[in-house]
Amino acid sequence: MKGNRNPKRVIRLILLQVMMAAILIQTLAGCAQPQENVEEKPVQTYAAPVDLPVNYRSNDFTVKAGESDIDLYNAGNNSWNKPVSYGYFDIPTSSTIAVTPNFEFSSFELVPRSLGIKGERSGNTITFKLNGPANVSLVVDGNYQGKVLHLFAESPETDIPDPTDPNVIYFGPGFHDLGEYGTPPTMIKSNQTLYISGGAVVRGRFRADHATNITIRGRGIILNDYRAQDEYDDIALALNYVTKSTVRDIIVNRDTNSWTSSMHGNSDVEVINYKAVSPRYASSDGFNIVSSHDIVFDGSFIHSADDSLAIKGLSQEEDPAKALPVYNITYKNAQLWADGNNAIGIGAETVAAYFKNIHFNNIDVLYNFDDRDHPDGLTDRSAINIFALHGTEFSDISFENIRVEKAKRLINIQMDTTFYFGAIQGSWAWPGSIKGIRYKDITSYSDGTNEIKVQGWSKDRMISDVIFDNIKINGKKVKAVDDPHFTINQYAENVHVK
């Protein structure tokens, strides 16, 4: 009976429960946020190949992680002919990073600001601490069009495949030049793994057609700085009609004006911790998702001179209703930098039966410019963009927890028949609409116009049911559709601001 309980035993049980609860709270707090006093352990570095041609190396910055030197690569010049540098290493716990720009500068930023990293400067050296894996970029003198550095601090690699396995295409440390002019891409077949180890740079192209259960992974670099001349498309990494497959951890550096990576007709594919550094002007899209479904991107970093990512419908069908649909796409936990066009884009090519159930979450847009040769002349370009060229249905699309460091324009939803001065033609001869679009927790720190444009095509091809929920521009919340940042035409309805 309750009245016969031992009071001392009850007190001991209560104290034990309190102690266990305290331990649980501390454990959960430790999982949610890296601790400042984590013991530093040596990082895992990967030396650049000794025979790597000098033009692929960067001497603009010197980087140390703890006591280890980090070799840096030159990704090529950006739109303004300034070299972009990058480097990578594995970080088991925490590490103090020291970056020395080998040129004069006055100020610096470490982005994205969501990382909460504050650097200290002594002479020309900037030091900061990383408490775990992160992608961090250094911008000096506020010049996003100048020399920049991207650092990729990775989790230690596990489960490295056996190089003697006949189903493994294995590239160990060193420079592997597969890029003779006109050389076809290396083909990846069903049940094969392409592994590019840390310290490896493979100059060439890779492609999978009608394959299943493939894996593309490794710490190393796919380098492509040439245009091919063969029957294959001119893309560094191309996946066509691939299913149940994974891409993870690799770096792709495309130093020419063509797409970096793409998938077409794919399903059930995951792309995890993918990194593209392709700043050459222009058309160097980072990783395009074309006519595909059930796709997950998690943890991407992309610096491109065109769309960082674009979700497209491309088909030989004239009638969009007969083309492959685009649906069930999740894109999350990314950092995107686009020197031209859009950081996040759906379109402009939109020949698809429909676009549905597409969701973006937790993304930092580091930089977005419209076009080097036509600044302010292409007002349909923005950090977050839906540009529909063809009569089809768009629905259930969301953009959530997105932070914009610097961009010309913030949001664009538009129906039109031409793109880039008529270079791409569309048609609204078929029925179409854009509806059920949600923007939630969008924060812009940008000094651009921060325009939010909603532009439908006609009274029977409308944009409708669009929600802007908690949009903040330079610390001020957008409260109504009459906010001066909005441009809305007569073919948009049920546009709500919360």
Please write the tens of the pLDDT for every residue from 437-446.
999 999 999 9
Map out the domains of the chain with their CATH numbers.
54-154 (2.60.350.10), 257-497 (2.160.20.10)
Lowest mean pLDDT among 17-26, 59-68, 287-296, 304-313: 17-26
> Above 80 in pLDDT, residue 12?
no
pLDDT of the residue at 34: 42
Task: Judge whether 492 and 457 are in contact, CB under 8 Å.
Answer: no
Q: How far is CA 27 from CA 17, 23, 31, 34, in A?
A: 15, 6, 6, 11
Reply yes or no on whether the pLDDT at 25 is more than 80.
no
Residue 3 has pLDDT above 60, yes or no: no
Average pLDDT value over all residues in the chain? 92
Instruction: Write the CB contacts of 221 (distance below 8 Å, at least 6 apart in sequence).
Output: 73, 196, 200, 201, 202, 250, 251, 252, 253
* Tens-digit pLDDT profile for residues 444-490: 999 999 999 999 999 999 999 999 999 999 999 999 999 999 999 99
User: What is the rounded average pLDDT of the residues 90-95?
Assistant: 96
pLDDT tens-digit profile of 345-357? 999 999 999 999 9
- C-alpha to C-alpha distance for 64 and 42, rounded to whole angstroms: 11
Residue 37, pLDDT score: 57
Under a CB-based contact definition with an 8 Å cutoff, are residues 466 and 488 in contact? no
Structure confidence at residue 36 as a pLDDT band (50, 70, 90): low
- For residue 287 the two structure tokens come to 């990783």
Q: Does pLDDT of 182 surpass 80?
A: no
Give the model's confidence band at 180: pLDDT under 50 very low, under 70 low, under 90 confident, else very high: confident
Q: What's the whole-number mean pLDDT along residues 363-384? A: 97
At 229, is the pLDDT very low, low, confident or very high (cuts 50, 70, 90)? confident
8, pLDDT greater than 70: no
Give the up-direction half-sphere exposure of residue 360: CA atoms within 13 A in the CB hemisphere. Answer: 30
- Please determine, for residue 377, whether its predicted confidence score (pLDDT) is greater than 70: yes
- The pLDDT tens digits of the residues spanning 128-161 come to 999 999 999 999 999 999 999 999 999 999 999 9
pTM above 0.85, yes or no: yes
342, pLDDT greater than 60 = yes
> Averaged over 189-203, what is the pLDDT?
98
> What pLDDT is recorded for position 241?
98
Q: How far apart are CA 114 and CA 103, in angstroms?
A: 27
**What is the pLDDT, as a whole number, of residue 303?**
98
